[in-house]
Amino acid sequence: MMRALATLMGLTLFAPAAMAANDQVTDFTLDNGMDVVVIEDHRAPVAVHMVWYRAGAADEPPGDSGVAHYLEHLMFKGTDTLDPGEFSATVARHGGNDNAFTSQDYTGYYQRIAADRLDMMMRMEADRMMNLRLAGTDIVTERNVIIEERNQRVENDPGALFREQKRAAQYLNHPYGIPIIGWRAEIETLGREQVLDFYRTFYAPNNAILVVAGDVTPDEVRTMAEKHYGALPANTDLSPRSRPQEPPQRAERRLVMRDARVGTPYVSRSYLAPERDSGAQQKAAALTLLAKILGGGQTSVLAEKLQFDASVAIHTAAYYSGRSLDETTFNMVVVPAEGVSLQQAEEALDTALAEFMREGVDARELERIKLQARAGQIYERDDVQRLARRYGGALTQGLTVEDVQAWPGIIQSVTADDIMAAARDVLDKRRAVTGWLDKEEVTQ
């Protein structure tokens, strides 16, 4: 289906400006400050309804890590008019599905449902934005659910523990060093008071973004949104969003974690890197392409040098996403081949990077990656839910609809020189953490 569409749309693959215009996106703001984005897609009579709060784990008070995610769970408990669990049950009864997600920068709630049930979704979502009721038993039960979630996803997974420790070493001051799910000891101290503080501070229409995508028109959405969300009072005490920022990072850091449960040892390196900012996305675009060039697949620089030329690694990757409110990271991974030590793998990585800095970007490879990016944009537009997430997420990090639409064109405009300049700037070990996850036991 996706492949067919790409073929069908082949003629537009080389016209990024036309592509952007293809997103039928309308945005406006309600009187109480709630932003609204409408993405029209009339191919099927369904709609995705999302409410995004500009509040994530990095907005938590110190010591209360995990409260954003905890609240996300508790939002499925009752309100004055809905019993616990009734929200999701109602969505399911009407043939839809719903879920929620918490990141460092936002918390989002969504339902995918028949377009004619949109009014009901808005009524229920507006209700829980203001009228959450938390019974003592729900508080305790759900906290245990989250601790169990942490046990399964983190405590029992050395790779997850390693990433958590590494991220804490990456950020010297910014709360991005704190895990989204929270430190276990802090989760255990969370209670009704902290949850309600977070809820009352951040859950308000003027801190929220409504994204509706699918078989809807902007006028319909506006009318319904004004009825349900427009009636809610703004939180006039809301402070401008601001987190402690990173000081200059001046010292290369390294980290070794050894755990008997590790199956495949690997080397991972992350460099502090800039994020996409409104009107200033060029550097992030260059880093996006740099990640593809270095570690985006079988023809990438790291794959060629470490996997094919020298059989040092069985897997290499580089990844970067500029979707972040504050400074993010540029990441690389090398999984050494049998008989190759982590030390040797890391040395091979450094050698490969040094060679790349001398050799520069292969022009044909860059063109291939840009072509992939154009194709990816087309595929993505076929997935209305993904598109809705893209716009919602972008707005929580201070980007505009125009920034999102400009992005594909900016990606296409990046030159090899831009990429090398970004590489020289960002691939600075003083701002990097290099981690080894190893299978041996720790020794004194």
List residues binding a second copy (CB under 8 A): 62-63, 65, 161-162, 165-166, 168-169, 172-173, 175, 177-178, 183-186, 242-245, 247, 249-257, 259, 353-354, 357, 424, 427-430, 435, 442, 444
Nearer to a second copy, 196 or 314 (CB): 196
Nearer to a second copy, 125 or 438 (CB): 438
Q: For residue 133, which of 52, 66, 76 has the smallest C-alpha distance?
A: 76
Nearer to a second copy, 182 or 336 (CB): 182
Q: How far is the CB of 290 from a second copy (least distance, A)?
A: 14
Phi and psi torsions of 66, nearest 5°:
95, -10
Q: How far is the CB of 186 from a second copy (least distance, A)?
A: 7
- Those residues whose C-beta lies under 8 Å from the C-beta of residue 50, and which sit 6 or more positions away, are 108, 109, 110, 210, 211, 212, 213, 388, 389, 392
Burial class (CB in 10 A: 0-12, 13-18, 19+), 270: buried
> Which two tokens mark 358?
């001398």
- Those residues whose C-beta lies under 8 Å from the C-beta of residue 245, and which sit 6 or more positions away, are 173, 174, 326, 327
Burial class (CB in 10 A: 0-12, 13-18, 19+), 58: buried
Amino acid letter, 349: L
Q: How far is the CB of 243 from a second copy (least distance, A)?
A: 7
Nearer to a second copy, 243 or 323 (CB): 243
The gap between the terminal CA atoms of the chain, to the nearest Å, is: 56
The Cβ of residue 309 has, within 10 Å, a number of other Cβ atoms equal to 12
Sheet with 35-40: list strands edge to edge.
Answer: 25-29, 35-40, 208-214, 46-53, 107-114, 97-102
CA–CA dist 267, 349 (Å, integer): 9
CA–CA dist 430, 366 (Å, integer): 28
Q: How far is the CB of 149 from a second copy (least distance, A)?
A: 16
Rg (CA), the chain: 23
DSSP codes of every residue in 111-172: EEEEGGGHHHHHHHHHHHHH-B---HHHHHHHHHHHHHHHIIIIIT-HHHHHHHHHHHHH-S
Amino acid letter, 66: G
Nearer to a second copy, 60 or 98 (CB): 60
The Cβ of residue 264 has, within 10 Å, a number of other Cβ atoms equal to 11
Nearer to a second copy, 100 or 178 (CB): 178
Tell me which of 60, 72, 125, 346 is the catalytic residue.
Answer: 72
Q: How far is the CB of 13 from a second copy (least distance, A)?
A: 36
Q: How far is the CB of 416 from a second copy (least distance, A)?
A: 18
Nearer to a second copy, 126 or 178 (CB): 178
Nearer to a second copy, 65 or 107 (CB): 65
CA–CA dist 26, 38 (Å, integer): 5
Q: How far is the CB of 182 from a second copy (least distance, A)?
A: 9
Q: How far is the CB of 168 from a second copy (least distance, A)?
A: 4
Sheet with 266-273: list strands edge to edge.
Answer: 313-320, 328-336, 266-273, 432-438
Q: Which residue has the tokens 């690997």?
A: 266
Reply yes or no on whether 72 is catalytic: yes
Catalytic residues, which ones? Answer: 72
